[in-house]
A and B are shown apart, each in its own frame.
Chain A
Amino acid sequence: MIEFRNVSKQYTPDATALRDVSFTVAKGELVFLAGPSGAGKSTLLKMIAAVERPSAGQVIVNGQDIARIKPAAVPFLRRNLGLIFQQQRLLTDRSILANVMLPLLVTGASRAQAEQRARAALDKVGLLERADAQPLALSGGEQQRVSIARAIVNRPQVILADEPTANLDRASANKVLDALKAFHSVGVTCLISSHDEQMLDAAARVIHLKQGQLEVAA
């Protein structure tokens, strides 16, 4: 499903984010990316979403080589990915329902269909009753759950979460993690970057990065 073959990423001659990284994530796997800040976790996730392209090596996602993918094909690749960011990146000028509807509307779904599926997604993360609230009226944990709803509303094959629990208290972090595990349990491939020790201890597979290099691929 996701394969890194000797991937390096160099932003400038002095700034190398990844060095010769190779690993594979099979379909339906739940994999954690661990490592200190600056280890290259975010760069790695950005490459899978075709936000960044490798300087060397190959990144294969759903059979597509990210280095060679045409710009016009990138949106269609991303529709099969659910992206969750550390800073939720919810649009504050509209309700959380409208935020969750957006991935469906960009694919051309009707408004009625988008609303129905967005409500179902919000229900799955326990926020249906707050559908009409504005993002800023929600706590950090709730906002992150909204961003999970937005990531899964398109029924993606892969969820990429970049430090989804970084700014949350333990209770909120557990809720977010439980939500992600719930989607993994129905066959969604999840790749989650984190430096939350408690979260990593319970993980079946952790990929450790340090200064852009693979440390341990469990």
Chain B
Amino acid sequence: MTLWFRQHRYALAAALVHLRRSPGGFLFNILVVAIALALPFTGVTLLDNVRPMSEQLSVDPEISIFLKQDTPREQAEALAVPLRQTVRDKQAKIVFTPREKALEQLKDKSGLADVLTTLGENPLPDSYVLKLDAFRNAQAGGDVDQLAAQIRALPGVDTVQVDSAWVKRLAALLNVLRLALLLLAATLGTVVVAVIFNTIRLQVMTQREEILVSKLIGATDSFIHRPFYYTGALLGLCAGGVALGAVSLALRPLNVAIADFARLYASEFQLAPLPPLAMAGLLALSAGLGLIGALLSVQRHLSRLN
């Protein structure tokens, strides 16, 4: 085990020595890889911020039920019973709003009291609002649609409006974004692997004599390959760190603009950096991509020196 650690420590030191010998090239490579990584990292950060918001919005979807204008009050109030039977096992809150109360609320909220007074009679119908508790996310939107269809068939019901429809749209949009991000990440991940593949190729060429001499004095393939693996992983790790740092820095000016926009909707929404565990995961992924690039390059270019 001591030998194993010693050989890995030697490989890491050798990788650092070679990187230190050409700091300009190393920094340039970090920059190139970091730019490629920064785009998907930004996407991950945005999705991570939007996801909890969408989950919160999708909780308690509402179904507004508007009754026919000529429905007598008694029949309207009695509709609560079949409604409750339709909802059955689902936890739901059923609120009846008489047309008079609805008009009062409209006058209070819209500031159109004067206009509504000129109408003479109340144009609003009696209505129910069903606040569902059993649908915790937008995926359950199909169940809500089914329920709405059942309610629509009840006597005296004129219009049924599912207020969670837009949540479904948001969820669908997020799914599209997630897929697009995955494709973008795969493409840019390939770019990262290609950049590191080429970097290691150049290093193999630069260290050709050292590799050949090492082979002649009894170095095993793993002894020769290991420093290149460390170089690739270090390159990926450093680039990942730079990309995450850049994304975190970019959030500041972005949050200023978002704050102005969110204020229009009485919201204090802000983009937050990724949690430490997610950052550690992205760093590990970056190092992994670097390692893959190095593995492919070493396999291809060092085998030619045998």
User: Are A154 and B10 neighbours in the complex by a CB distance under 8 Å?
Assistant: no
User: Are A83 and B210 neighbours in the complex by a CB distance under 8 Å?
Assistant: no
> Size range of the interface on A?
20 to 34
B residues less than 8 Å from A75 (CB atoms) = 215, 218-221, 223
- Which residue in A93, A102, A110, A111 is a CB contact (below 8 Å) of B214? A102
User: Are B215 and A108 neighbours in the complex by a CB distance under 8 Å?
Assistant: no
B residues less than 8 Å from A102 (CB atoms) = 213-214, 217
With contact pairs A89-B209, A91-B209, A93-B21 given, residues A107 and B216 touching in the complex (Cβ less than 8 Å): no
User: Are A150 and B217 neighbours in the complex by a CB distance under 8 Å?
Assistant: yes
CA separation between A83 and B6, bound complex, in Å? 25
B residues less than 8 Å from A110 (CB atoms) = 6
Tell me the count of chain B residues lying within 8 A, CB to CB, of chain A. Answer: 19
B203 CB–A CB distance under 8 Å: no
User: Are A108 and B209 neighbours in the complex by a CB distance under 8 Å?
Assistant: no
- Which residue in A49, A71, A154 is a CB contact (below 8 Å) of B216? A49
CA separation between A71 and B218, bound complex, in Å? 12
- Which residue in A51, A89, A105, A111 is a CB contact (below 8 Å) of B213? A89
A79 CB–B CB distance under 8 Å: yes
CA separation between A51 and B216, bound complex, in Å? 8
User: Are B6 and A91 neighbours in the complex by a CB distance under 8 Å?
Assistant: no
A78 CB–B CB distance under 8 Å: yes
Segment 55-106 of A: residues with Cβ below 8 Å from B: 71-72, 75-76, 78-79, 83, 89, 91, 93, 102-103, 105-106
User: Are A79 and B218 neighbours in the complex by a CB distance under 8 Å?
Assistant: yes
A residues less than 8 Å from B210 (CB atoms) = 91, 93
A residues less than 8 Å from B213 (CB atoms) = 89, 91, 102
With contact pairs A89-B213, A91-B213 given, residues A106 and B21 touching in the complex (Cβ less than 8 Å): no
Known: A51-B216, A78-B218, A83-B216. 18 other contacts (CB 8 A): A75-B221, A76-B218, A78-B215, A78-B217, A79-B217, A79-B218, A83-B217, A89-B212, A89-B216, A91-B210, A93-B210, A102-B214, A103-B217, A106-B214, A106-B219, A108-B7, A150-B217, A154-B218
Which residues on B are within 8 Å of A, measured CB to CB? 3, 6-7, 10, 21, 209-210, 212-221, 223, 306
Q: Which 7 A-B pairs have the closest CB atoms?
A: A79-B218, A106-B219, A78-B218, A103-B217, A108-B3, A75-B220, A75-B218
Contact sample, A vs B, 17 pairs, CB 8 Å cutoff:
A51-B216, A72-B220, A72-B221, A78-B217, A89-B213, A89-B216, A93-B21, A102-B213, A105-B10, A106-B214, A106-B218, A106-B219, A107-B218, A108-B3, A108-B7, A154-B217, A154-B218
